[in-house]
Amino acid sequence: MASSSPACPDAQDDAPRRRPYEYQRNLGSDMTLMFFVTTDSDMPAKCPLRDRQLIRGLDGEATARVMFPKPPWLTEDQRYRSLLRIAEADDDDFSQGFFSLNMSLFNKEIVASEWQGRYFIMQGRVHPYILTWDLDEGLYREPVEEPIEYRAPALIVRDLGFQAISPRLTTGDKSFPTMSPVACFSGPILGSGRSLLRSGPIAKLGEDRLKCCGFVQLSSFIVPGNPARTSFGGFHPFQVFVLFPIHANPWATLCNKMVEKRDTKFQPHTLFVCTGKVVGFLSHDAMAHPPQLDRDLVFIVVPDTWTFYDRPSLDAVFAPSSAAQPTNSSPTSPLARFLSPSKRKRAS
């Protein structure tokens, strides 16, 4: 852990330690994220001893800031804006989150000028809920009188998962970055906004918007250096809020059938597969069942591509195809396999 990375106590210091699940059944997949990140004044600390790493197999860790650009429709429409979690440093253009960035730096020399204040594009897994690690003097570079807790959401970046970049603005860009992080995941639907948002947001959004949003259950498989210590090894669950902005393009056209359908597509136990952009964080005050810790981040994901799989759809996908009847074909030369029928006669 880097010396300039402070321990992150949560407002609910007496909250019980969350234990992961042993099995992934009904928990959904990991979330993969492609994102821009800056380490500000921090630089990675290396921990080559496996049993002391925050994430087993990753020897580098730093506190990283990830920017989440907000699309105009999210901030200009008060009905959507009321869903946003607004932090002190946020503005109309960005939400930002601070993460424990864990990466593979084996056999790499850490040069301060190559990390401090630099931007990187990265691809890896994200766990947006708070994880807790117990740090002692062997893990924390600054002198400590007793073990302390380090609490943060986590980014997990494996080999060849990051690249330093030099930001360049084009005409009309206010700041960097302008592209929201891109997420990919699959998991069971917990329910729609009708049932899982509180009455205040429900009244503001209206029936059509409520049909076109919902919560999806996901999980992160995380093993710390010592699985017997926090954050413990196993499947750590979290939720994301999926939102189709049906009054903004291109979703106004793509989601016609979803709006016209009487029932919501966000039916419990339906499998949802999605690639989309993370445009901000959902306010805990808007949720009927908010996360346990105040600093848990609930991503708002706007799908670019998506599929709803109910049970009959899944059965059709995994049903074995019937064996094709063998056909009598005359033996051909290997060359004939690559020639069109009109050329086979001339080649034979």
User: Using H for helix, E for strand and C for coil, what is the string for 100-148?
Assistant: EEEECCCCCCCCHHHCCCCEEEEEEEEEEEEEEEEECCCCCCCCCCCCE
| Domain assignment present for 105 | yes
Closest CA to 124 of 94, 154, 164, 167: 154
pLDDT, residue 244, reads 97
pLDDT, residue 223, reads 93
Alpha-carbon span 268 to 194, nearest angstrom:
12
pLDDT, residue 49, reads 83
Which pLDDT band, with edges at 50, 70 and 90, does 1 fall under?
very low
CB atoms closer than 10 angstroms to residue 321: 5
Query: What DSSP designation does 284 have?
Result: G
Residues shown for the chain: 348
pLDDT, residue 221, reads 96
For the chain, helix, strand, coil in percent to 5 are: 20, 35, 50
Alpha-carbon span 165 to 87, nearest angstrom:
27
| Domain assignment present for 6 | no
Beta bridge partners of 131: 152
Strands (E) across 158-211 are located at 162-165, 182-192
Instruction: Report, as an integer, the average pLDDT of 148-172.
Output: 89
Q: Which residue has the higher pLDDT, 22 or 347?
A: 22
Task: Look at the alpha carbons of 167, 171, 175, 178 in this order and tell me if their dihedral is positive or negative.
Answer: negative
Instruction: Report, as an integer, the average pLDDT of 250-270.
Output: 93
Instruction: Report, as an integer, the average pLDDT of 286-312.
Output: 93
Q: Which domain holds residue 97?
A: 31-168+175-315
Note the pLDDT tens digit of each residue in 189-246. 999 999 999 988 787 888 999 999 999 999 999 999 888 888 889 999 999 999 999 9
Contact by Cβ (8 Å): 195, 288 = yes
| Domain assignment present for 19 | no
| Domain assignment present for 233 | yes
According to DSSP H, which parts of the chain are helical?
72-76, 78-81, 193-196, 199-205, 207-211, 251-254, 256-260, 311-318, 341-347
Note the pLDDT tens digit of each residue in 19-37. 899 999 889 999 999 999 9
Alpha-carbon span 75 to 82, nearest angstrom:
9
106 alpha-carbon distance from chain centroid: 25
Q: Total domain count for the chain?
A: 1
| Domain assignment present for 327 | no
Instruction: Report, as an integer, the average pLDDT of 82-101.
Output: 87
| Domain assignment present for 235 | yes
| Domain assignment present for 303 | yes
- SS3 call for 334: helix
Q: Which of 4-18, 35-49, 212-226, 325-339 has the highest mean pLDDT?
A: 212-226
For the ranges 13-22, 35-44, 129-138, 167-176, the lowest mean pLDDT is seen at: 13-22
- Which residues are CB-neighbours of 50 under 8 A, at least 6 positions away? 56, 57, 225
Alpha-carbon span 244 to 71, nearest angstrom:
13
Assessment of whether the complete model's pTM goes beyond 0.75: yes
- Which residues are CB-neighbours of 295 under 8 A, at least 6 positions away? 8, 10, 11, 130, 151, 153
The strand pair at 148-157 and 94-103 is best described as parallel
| Domain assignment present for 324 | no
Instruction: Report, as an integer, the average pLDDT of 280-301.
Output: 95
pLDDT, residue 337, reads 65
Q: Which of 106-115, 229-238, 338-347 has the highest mean pLDDT?
A: 229-238
Note the pLDDT tens digit of each residue in 246-255. 999 999 999 9
- Which residues are CB-neighbours of 12 under 8 A, at least 6 positions away? 292, 293, 294
Instruction: Report, as an integer, the average pLDDT of 2-20.
Output: 54
Contact by Cβ (8 Å): 55, 62 = no
Query: What DSSP designation does 84 have?
Result: B
pLDDT, residue 2, reads 46
Instruction: Report, as an integer, the average pLDDT of 317-336.
Output: 57
Whether a cis peptide bond, with omega within 30° of 0, leads into 320 is no
Which pLDDT band, with edges at 50, 70 and 90, does 10 fall under?
very low
Q: Is 105 left (phi over 0), alpha (psi -120 to 50) or beta?
A: alpha
Q: Which residue has the higher pLDDT, 4 or 217?
A: 217
pLDDT over 60 (residue 263): yes
- SS3 call for 340: coil
